[in-house]
Amino acid sequence: MQNVVLILSGGMDSTTLLYYLLAQGYNVPAVISFDYGQRHIKELECAKNTVRFINSLMKLDIKHHILNVPFGQLATKSALTAKNVDVPEGHYASDNMRATVVPSRNLIFLSIASALAISEDAVLAIGVHAGDHTIYRDCRPEFMQQVTQTIKLGNWGAENFDILTPFLHIDKEGIAITGKHAANQLGIAVVDIYARTWTCYKGLEKACGKCGSCVERLEAFEKAGFPDPIQYAP
């Protein structure tokens, strides 16, 4: 089976993607996470927790690479990294969420991850989905195609390189349902998947339930018809 290296943020999209790929029978030699000074550093803890859980449960040896990318130093205007810019509230897919854009973020992540994937003789996978397209230009289908071509053009022996984006045309509800199916196929309780994910953009003890990311996550679970196992602030 094909090798695939995955970008795992610790959010519900990429975590679902990992379980989905394993349920599909892919071989996952390594996953990669980025510490980029995000406020929601709990994401990273969730990513680590997920890899440990899967390795232990499925007797796998997935390597977890965590790379530091100091966006705060590079991108001083994004609410995700700058301490003096507030995280906007309201729905995720609205204009004010533009404040959370970090320039070239996915290009940086995909570029770095491609070095690992090429070294591991693997393709890449990333959990971008339809809900991301409006505000994040670097989550769009045409951008994913463009980056794939760029990586192939820039490397020797990368003719078979590809970026898998199975969630590109589905929304977060579809992702939750995909996670439920993958859990069934792997014989895991779905609660064990999503209890180890973090979505809130604010770096508080419990998820705020009010930022764009939380609103979208809560809607997704409600529509998918099963409860979100993480705790929200009252």
Shortest spacing between CB 216 and a second copy, in angstroms: 20
Residue 109 has which token pair? 């992540």
- 128, 88 contact by CB (below 8 A): no
Shortest spacing between CB 219 and a second copy, in angstroms: 25
In the region spanning residues 47 to 66, those forming contacts with a second copy, defined by CB under 8 A, are 65
| SS3 of residue 106 by DSSP | helix
DSSP secondary structure string for all residues of 6-42: EE--SSHHHHHHHHHHHHTT-B--EEEEEE---S-TH
Sheet holding 163-164, edge to edge: 63-68, 30-35, 4-7, 123-125, 163-164
Shortest spacing between CB 87 and a second copy, in angstroms: 18
Shortest spacing between CB 212 and a second copy, in angstroms: 17
In the region spanning residues 90 to 109, those forming contacts with a second copy, defined by CB under 8 A, are 98, 101-108
CB closer to a second copy, 70 vs 227: 70
- Of 51-59, 114-122, 184-192, 200-208, the window that binds a second copy (rule: CB under 8 A) is 114-122
Shortest spacing between CB 124 and a second copy, in angstroms: 11
Residue 14 has which token pair? 């990429």
CB closer to a second copy, 34 vs 167: 34
Could you report how far apart the first and last alpha carbons of the chain are, in Å? Answer: 46
For residue 112, CA distances in Å to 39, 50, 109 come to: 21, 21, 5
Among 4, 44, 54, 118, binds a second copy (CB under 8 A): 118
CB closer to a second copy, 8 vs 207: 8
In the region spanning residues 157 to 176, those forming contacts with a second copy, defined by CB under 8 A, are 158
Shortest spacing between CB 110 and a second copy, in angstroms: 8
CA 7, 8, 14, 17 torsion-angle sign: positive
- 67, 56 contact by CB (below 8 A): no
Please tell me whether residue 26 binds a second copy under the rule CB under 8 A.
no
In the region spanning residues 125 to 154, those forming contacts with a second copy, defined by CB under 8 A, are 137-138, 142-143, 146-147, 149-151, 153-154
| SS3 of residue 160 by DSSP | coil
Binding site for a second copy (CB under 8 A): 65, 67-71, 73-77, 98, 101-108, 111-112, 114-116, 118-119, 137-138, 142-143, 146-147, 149-151, 153-156, 158
